[in-house]
Amino acid sequence: MRASQFFLATLKEAPQEAELPSHKLMLRAGLIRKLGSGLYSWMPLGMRVLHKVERIVREEMDRAGALEVIMPPIQPAELWQETGRWELYGPMMLRVKDRAEREFCYAPTAEEVITDIARKELRSYRQLPVNFYQIQTKFRDEIRPRFGVLRAREFSMKDAYSFDADEGGMLKSYQKMFDAYVAIFTRLGLTFRPVSADTGEIGGSASHEFQVLADSGEDLIAYSDASDYAANIEKAEALAPATPRAAATEPMKKDPTPGTSTCEGVAKLWNLPLARTVKAILLTADERVHMVLIRGDHSVNEIKVGKVAGLKGWRWATDAEILAAADGPAGYLGPVGLDRSKITVIADRTVAAMSDFVCGANEKDFHLRGVNWGRDCPEPDLVADIRNVVAGDPSPDGKGTLAIVRGIEVGHVFALGRKYSEAMGATFAAEDGTQKAFEMGCYGIGVTRIVGAAIEQNHDDKGIIWPDPMAPFTVAIIPMGAGKSEAVKSASEALHADLVAAGIEVLLDDRGERPGVMLADQELIGIPHRVVIGDRGLKDGVVEYQHRRDAEATRVPLADVAAFVKAKLAR
RNA sequence: CGGGGUGUAGCGCAGCCUGGUAGCGCACUUGCUUUGGGAGCAAGUUGUCGGGGGUUCGAAUCCCUCCACCCCGACCA
């Protein structure tokens, strides 16, 4: 490809709206242009990258035996009403009406449609297992679209759905997809980790996320330094402390803490470590108020809270509820002196093992110190894991300790089970002649998000550094002064022709720009391999090769350069 | 949704406080020179100052209103 025949839309300065490196670089390199909040057009250069990603995804999905389909992005409300998700999905779903006032949505996902296909088309266990997938545009009306393509409202997603006759088969299909995902992200050249995850709204038994590791990621991942254990922090279990609760050594004492409503404040005031304090959070579930206790330096894991018996569908308590149940205002709450008939005390495992701790006195401007379970207040009604793990916690698998890194979720696999097939009456004739609901799995990959994640992980101050498999062009040829030097011109043309003939994607910069412009653009765009051809080297019969990650150029004899580049790519 | 901010040329910004009909850099066009790290000189082009309404002799500037976009937060007491 000649640059003069292509459309490069590079920008010297990034539009004000961009915050993250990947967002800025995608705009500057001319991969995308913004249309509206969370809406992006893909420019020619971006399309080349997107096609690379799609191609690898397709190849690995096909290799895993999945079959490509394409379903409409506009879906009738009726299907969603069958599973109850028309209401459940809420404002995230973009709803539209046609001229006859019939309701539709712009698909945020396609479980309903694929299940509808399955119940109509799949009749016998003999047709199973099957896995259908599509690469299709989705729309989710995010609360706050941001980070460019990483949290856009419209995005391209590969979604696959497997149908099996029984759970064993489904788990096999799940494993196949898991393996395919590993192959996809490996081929893309990304540093990633599969982590076990919460199943969230979609439901089901097993679930793994595929996270591209990057400092700007929105997700926190806990992993063990001594085993394969890795989990989203939403799910990572915080084990109970290994050492039992120590015996009480201090008397309980009530002291004033005027205007100090936080654990940090009390710890500072009394010159105690934060880890000696306990914070109390009140919430309401099933009309009953619950006090949740977390160590001062820990944070509540809302997902874990929702899984505690009796707390399904909980909400934060109102100020009125707090006063009625605890006799004290928010900021000064604790487990001592409560009327347990009105309130249930739920302690995090860590808190349950604490002694001589500090907590609120259920009275404005007072806290207690030297508090001990059993002696000063009854034992907690319930002890549960309700906090987020922190770096240094023991790994839940018993091997090593946890460290925490950030990641960008680019893939997610779910062992769904019969949730959708049962809701929609999707059944098949089993071997014994009975009708059974399909065992389903669903598997997503954020195709457009991968592009942003790859840049987030691979860039420097000059621009993008594409992994070869995703690069819009693999090699850039930069002729110095081709307008003046016939030797430079013919050498560039010859190399271009040679590499093109070898099926290599080359960009020959024949725009006649100045050297600085050509080099800066090549670096911004992130073409991984470049060959600079100029009279300076040509008089010695050499040209310069430099990888985007190399600090220095390598002088290569002109006669060998084609072979040299091909050898570099073959690795 | 709550809070904050911004909207002036394709991009980045100044002008607004203290009203007088719009400017800078880059980009773009033409010419000459230049050509190994975002060139120089010269001559140009580009704006419904986000929309609507109001105040005023006069509004980018003051007031009201709507819209768009960005950032932070969304209950951790």
Task: Tell me the ipTM for this assembly.
Answer: 0.90
pLDDT along chain A (571 residues), means of 10: 92 85 93 90 95 97 97 94 89 89 93 96 96 95 88 94 96 96 97 83 75 88 89 88 92 88 85 90 85 89 85 80 80 88 91 93 90 93 91 91 91 93 96 96 95 94 95 97 90 97 96 93 96 95 96 96 96 72
Pairing of strands A475-479, A529-533: parallel
Q: What is the pLDDT of residues A87-105, one digit of tens each?
A: 888 888 999 889 899 999 9
What pLDDT shows up at residue A355?
93
CA of A28 vs C1' of B72, distance in Å?
A: 25
Amino acid making up residue A90: G
The pair of three-digit structure tokens given for residue A134, joined into one six-digit string: 């599509």
What pLDDT shows up at residue A30?
94
All CATH 3.90.960.10 domain ranges in chain A, comma separated: 253-384
State whether the beta carbon of A551 lies below 7 angstroms from any atom of strand B: no
CA of A141 vs C1' of B11, distance in Å?
A: 29
Q: In the CATH hierarchy, which top-level class contains the domain A253-384?
A: alpha beta
Amino acid making up residue A467: P
Q: By the 8 A CB rule, do A349 and A242 touch? A: no
Strand B positions with any atom < 7 Å from protein CB? 1, 6, 11-13, 25-27, 34-39, 68-77
Nearest nucleotide to A538 (CA to C1') is: B36
- For residue A372, the 8-state DSSP code is -
Q: By the 8 A CB rule, do A555 and A537 touch? A: yes
The closest of A154, A128, A121, A175 to A40, measured between CA atoms, is A154
State whether the beta carbon of A35 lies below 7 angstroms from any atom of strand B: no
- Number of helices (H) and strands (E) in chain A: give both, helices first: 16, 31
CA of A435 vs C1' of B77, distance in Å?
A: 53
State whether the beta carbon of A263 lies below 7 angstroms from any atom of strand B: yes
State whether the beta carbon of A147 lies below 7 angstroms from any atom of strand B: yes
How would DSSP label each residue in A255-301?
EE-TT--SHHHHHHHTT--GGGBEEEEEEEETTEEEEEEEETT--B-
Residue A301: other Cβ atoms inside 10 A: 23
Please give the CATH architecture assigned to the domain spanning A3-236+404-455: 2-Layer Sandwich (3.30)
What pLDDT shows up at residue A276?
92
* Rounded Cα distance, A233 and A314, in Å: 20
CA of A117 vs C1' of B57, distance in Å?
A: 73
Query: Which residue's structure tokens are 């707090």?
Result: A322
Residue A188: other Cβ atoms inside 10 A: 23
* Rounded Cα distance, A281 and A267, in Å: 18
State whether the beta carbon of A14 lies below 7 angstroms from any atom of strand B: yes
What pLDDT shows up at residue A35?
87
Q: Which residues 297-336 in chain A have a CB closer than 7 A to strand B?
A: 299-300, 302, 315-317, 319, 322, 329-333
All CATH 3.40.50.800 domain ranges in chain A, comma separated: 473-570
Pairing of strands A529-533, A74-76: unpaired
Supply the CATH classification number for the domain A473-570. 3.40.50.800
